[in-house]
Structure 1
Amino acid sequence: MQKIPTNSPSPAKAELPLDLTGAHITAGASAAHRLYQALCEMIVSGLVKPSEPLPPSRTLAKQTGFRRNAVVTAYERLIADGFADATVGSGTFVAARIPARAAEPKKPKVIVEAPQQGAFSLGCTHIDERAVQRFRAFVGRRMRAFGSEHLHYGDPRGSRELRAAIADHLLSARGLRCDPDQIMLTSGTLHALRIVLSAILKAGDQVWCEDPGYPAARKTIAHCGYRAVPVPVDEHGMRIAKGRTSAPSARAAYVTPSHQFPLGVQMSMPRRLELLDWAKQAGAFVLEDDYDSEFRYDGAPLMSLAGIDHLQRVIYMGTFAKTLFPGLRIGYCALPERLIADVTAARTALDRFPGTLMEGAVADMLNSGAFAANLKRVRKLYREARDALAETLETRSDGVLSVPVPSQGLHLVARFDPSVDLSVAADAKLAAGAEGWLLADTYSRTRPLPGFVLGFSGHAVPKLVASAERLARESRAALRVKGGSARRA
């Protein structure tokens, strides 16, 4: 049992001056982690004094709108890291002596958290038991036939068997004709992005990125030593003319033309042709992330950019993370013939070659029809989840939120009127205990819009509906507090 300081502390403050949205808070992190960061900031900055009691967990849960177990988890972490002390029956107190490392201007401790799994979290998938059984059988068969070829260095592009199966799939599903030699297996889209950029760019080169867009792609580009240039997006996709103006010397463009993240728009054919024309004139390359193209619910999709590229300027990137299982860590890219040698050399320099054992089982899933059957089943589930989420938000928000129903993908965007302050969305999300993203967090340079990016895949419909009702209620309440009106975006 930990000892409490012998001096008589002052009573706990009725409310703590918590800042749960400041620069020190990790956007999108769990409630417990954000609360821990906010409490640490208060303690280190002196807003609460050494030995001062912290509010009971129930009181702080009521103040923040978090569940009590999130508060308990944050308190336990404060104690473990030396910022607080506790004893049974007396509560939790700020430590008498703050850890020395906290007061020093050192690099902050890196906290790695598991991805969100609650309602609205992005990246969740429905794991269909029939698909698992088929995959397990294929893995078992491959293990029984395990040969020495899996024990030696392999082709940097991955097994030819899976590359051939992917080439067949791309032709039938996306109208993209390519040879297995043009396919390279990766651990996912960001891995493919890293490999390809290292082959086609030099340090400091500019890359057009959609704004709003996928933050992880921007971070990957910057981490590799290139300059991510935000280019605005409208209802037709990336505004190529704006890109020409803001970064005329860019050497590449990263786009999600089939289902733009996060807005969900489909890049129009005129805009696609304009992008390809720019790539030709600039001698640049287009990195096409065919994001969620497999999950289309209404209408026919446009052909992929790579499918209409006759100048070998488009690198196509895809993944099995959502169409099968994220834990597989298998993605792929389809390369123009002119880039095969350079990208293969870059792959060899970065991580030699991919593992081969699981690749055979994935090829079996594709070739047997099990992959297509699984897609058909989960697409039906996702359509139902999409419809339930959109309808609940529309009907329960009383006009506060505008919720366009996406024809494709695994998330939707719910927006306030553009005149609404960004803090309204942040306050509502916090009060509702909602996961997912704030729409504003996907913007880089363009003026951000208030709203939410909400995933609906991999979540039971009743859970989605209950969470949507809570978010709609808190959105109305947050808007009332700010004195806004229920105008649609």
Structure 2
Amino acid sequence: MNNPAGHSPAPLPALERDVSTPLHRQIYLRFRTAIEQGVLKPGERVASARSLASALNVARGTVEAAYGQLAGEGYLIARGPAGTVVSPALPARLVEPRRAAAGHVERGAAPAAPDVARMPPLLPLQLGVPAFDAFPRKLWARLAARRIRAIGVSDMDYGDPAGHLPLREAIAAYLGVSRGVPCSAAQVFVTGGYRASLALAARVLLEPGAQVWVEDPGFPPTGGVLGDAGMRPVAVPVDAEGLRVDLGRHRAAAARMAVITPSHQAPLGVSMSLPRRLQLLDWASRARAWIVEDDYDGEYHYASAPLPALKSLDGHDRVLYAGSFSKSLYPGLALGYLVVPQRQCQAFDAALRAGSNGCPQLMQAIVADFMHEGHFARHLRKMRLLYARRRAFLEQALQQAFGDAVAVALQGGGMHLIARFPGVQEGDAALARRAQTAGLNAQALSERCASAREQGLLMGFTNIASQVQARRVVKRLQAALAL
């Protein structure tokens, strides 16, 4: 971490490598706490990912995953060649000092937990979060209260590390009907989310050092998770039809896995074409490689019905389907799931029993009730209509404010749009920096590219509740960009 005078960055305390907390999570927690307690101040530059990775003896992707999460939550801002800094829009100190127990800090965690009541609010245009105002909280509270009242002695023990059986059954039923994924409950494994699912798949199916295709541009944490697991991510370009399988073969012919987002590519939003899907499945079958399908927001398709999952075309059982409740319900659940080929169920079950007590059973039971009683399907239908409207609010406000100076890319679905400013000389990183300084969480598309630097601002629209709010947010953006 650098001080304002530009001295060499002070190293973080040594990471705990013998605990369950992933390394990128440890780095994220320590930076977040340092920012919230005023140790790192607004505008202060932090170490580059390369130098910090070298100092901590971790993969560069591990640091980039931590920095990506911090940037996504509004703590850090990337300024291209000028480095990465603490967001100037943050107050100088977010939390009051706390007295920790004498000499005690939880291993693998930050020195002090943040005060949730004082956490920075959700910033306009933030990516990757559902519409919090539209979540059925009263219904959810009733289901939770019913479960708590009915809790018995058997509910107080550890549950099945593979997941609460009624939830696994509900997920299997939902996927078979809505996503075209035929599977049994035994093939569904409940995890702590996408990162946990990917780490589990890598640990069970791959040898250390294996090459894995990842999308370029792509979702930053993917490379970090794979790097932490000892794998070698290989960036493969994405075009209008999805992952370039031919370039993947050229760059890493011996790859053992590909991690893709075929329904709505993260972040470009394109859907993988049928010929490209068949090409990828053929590669996996011939190379005896695996495909992890991250269907992170596949439910949200506005032009037509949601596209069938890639897994529905998998005739050789090479695809693992990863889903999450973070986008469909809310991220605080920290629940995801992984559908694995039938012949791999025993290996995955053994891996979970050896290394995990599983996810909290009570929360899994509430989600299972929500699904079994039909609330989940109704909620998704409501959200599809709502997000289509909110996307239109933001798109129209951008067009009215910027006119021909902006080109808004609207794909078939997803939870964000891309606004490009083709006549502007500055790069998207500079524009994103201006927006973030004004308290708007637009992100630079180029920062998610490993090679070809595509330009554009990524803007989440899920929490744009009205036309009035959209105009107000875009007016702030227009003033910040000075276009």
Match of 1:216 in 2: 221
Task: Report what 1:470 is aligned to.
Answer: 476
Distance 2:465 2:342 in 1: 44
Distance in 2, Cα, partners of 1:78 & 1:380:
38
* TM-score calculated relative to the size of structure 2: 0.75
Q: 1:457 aligns with which of 462, 466, 470?
A: 462
What's the offset of the Cα at 1:157?
1.1
**8 Å CA contact 2:419, 2:458 repeated in 1:** yes
Q: Return the offset for 1:143.
A: 1.9
Question: What letter matches 1:127 in structure 2?
Answer: F
1:128 CA displacement? 5.4
Aligned runs of 1:478-489 on 2, under 5 Å? none
Cα distance between partner residues in 1 of 2:158 and 2:398: 52
What letter is aligned with 1:471? L
Provide, for residues 261-282 of structure 1, a one-character-per-residue CA deviation record: whole Å limited to 9, x for no partner: 1000000000000110111111
Q: Does structure 2 retain, via aligned residues, the 8 Å contact 1:196–1:346?
A: no
Q: Are 1:73 and 2:91 an aligned pair? A: yes
Residue from 164, 168, 186 that aligns with 2:169? 164
> What's the secondary structure of 1:397's corresponding residue?
helix
Of the candidates 333, 342, 364, which is equivalent to residue 337 of structure 1? 342
Count of residues in Structure 1 that have an aligned counterpart in Structure 2:
401
Please list, as runs of the form range in 1=range in 2, the aligned pairs for 1:307-318 lying within 5 A after superposition: 307-318=312-323
Q: Cα gap change, 1:364/1:78 in structure 2, threshold over 3 Å: closer, same or farther?
A: closer
Residue 121 (structure 1) shift: 0.7
In 2, Cα distance between the equivalents of 1:111 and 1:442?
31
> Does structure 1 conserve the Cα–Cα contact (< 8 Å) formed by 2:298 and 2:307?
no
Q: Give the counterpart of 2:362 among 357, 372, 375.
A: 357
- Aligned residue number for residue 211 of structure 2: 206
One-letter code of the match for 2:349?
A: T
Q: Cα 1:398–1:130, aligned 2, differ >3 Å: closer, same or farther?
A: closer
Query: What is the CA–CA distance in structure 2 between the aligned matches of 1:298 and 1:72, rounded to whole Å?
Result: 38
In structure 2, what is the Cα distance between the partners aligned to 1:144 and 1:229? Answer: 50
Q: What's the CA shift for 1:312? A: 0.7
2:280 alignment counterpart:
275
Contact kept, 8 Å, 2:300 with 2:306, in 1: the verdict is: no
Counterpart CA distance in 2 for 1:455 and 1:248 is: 36
In structure 1, the partner of 2:255 is: 250
TM-superposed CA distance for 1:412, in Å, is 0.8
Tell me whether 1:440 sits opposite 2:446 in the alignment: yes
Query: Residues of 1 paired with 2:335 and 2:44: CA distance?
Result: 39
What is the distance in 1 between the residues matched to 2:367 and 2:319?
25
Deviation at 1:79, TM superposition (A): 12
TM-superposed deviation, 1:233: 0.4
CA contact (8 A) 1:415 1:450 kept: yes
Can you list the C-alpha shifts for 1:150-187, whole angstroms capped at 9, x where unaligned? Answer: 23333221111111111110011101111110001111
Question: Could you give the per-residue CA deviations for residues 232-284 of structure 1, whole angstroms, max 9, x where no partner exists?
Answer: 00000000001001111111010000000100000000000011011111111
1:387–1:405 contact (8 Å) kept in structure 2: no
Alignment of 1:307-456 (within 5 A): 307-417=312-422, 420-422=425-427, 423-430=429-436, 432-444=438-450, 446-456=451-461
**CA distance in structure 1 between the aligned counterparts of 2:202 and 2:322, rounded to whole angstroms:** 12
Displacement of 1:298: 0.9
The CA deviation string for residues 202-246 of structure 1, in whole angstroms up to 9 with x for no partner, is: 111111000000001111111221111100000000000010011
Q: Residue 460 of structure 1: CA displacement? A: 2.5
Which deviations, in whole Å up to 9, do the C-alpha atoms of 1:102-145 show, x marking residues without a partner? xxxxxxx9999868711111133223577222222222222222
3-state DSSP of counterpart to 1:157: coil
Are 2:269 and 2:413, in contact at CA under 8 Å, matched by a contact in 1? yes
Aligned 8 A contact 2:191 2:197 in 1: yes
After superposition, the Cα gap between the structure-2 partners of 1:111 and 1:439, relative to the gap in structure 1 and judged at 3 Å, is: farther
CA-atom RMSD in angstroms: 3.4
- Which structure 1 segments of 5+ residues have no match? 1-15, 19-25, 43-68, 81-108, 478-489
Q: Cα distance 1:112–1:198, how it changes in 2: closer, same or farther (>3 A)? A: farther
Contact between 1:195 and 1:350, CA under 8 Å: does it hold in 2?
no
Q: Deviations over 1:76-113 (max 9, x none)?
A: 58998xxxxxxxxxxxxxxxxxxxxxxxxxxxx99998
Deviation at 1:328, TM superposition (A): 1.6
Question: Which position in structure 2 is the counterpart of 1:120?
Answer: 125
Distance change in 2, residues 1:152/1:298 (3 Å): same
> Counterpart of 1:191 in structure 2: which amino acid?
A
Unmatched 5+ residue regions in structure 2? 7-27, 48-86, 98-109
Task: Indicate conservation of the 8 Å contact 1:182/1:340, yes or no.
Answer: yes
User: CA contact under 8 A between 2:126 and 2:441: conserved in structure 1?
Assistant: yes
Contact kept, 8 Å, 1:288 with 1:306, in 2: the verdict is yes
Q: Per the alignment, in what secondary structure is the counterpart of residue 475 of structure 2?
A: helix
Distance in 2 separating the partners of 1:154 and 1:196 = 21
State the Cα deviation string for residues 329-351 of structure 1 (Å, max 9, x = none): 22111111121111222222332
User: Per the alignment, in what secondary structure is the counterpart of residue 457 of structure 2?
Assistant: strand
Q: How does 1:174-189 map to 2 (within 5 A)?
A: 174-189=179-194
Q: Which structure: larger Rg?
A: 1
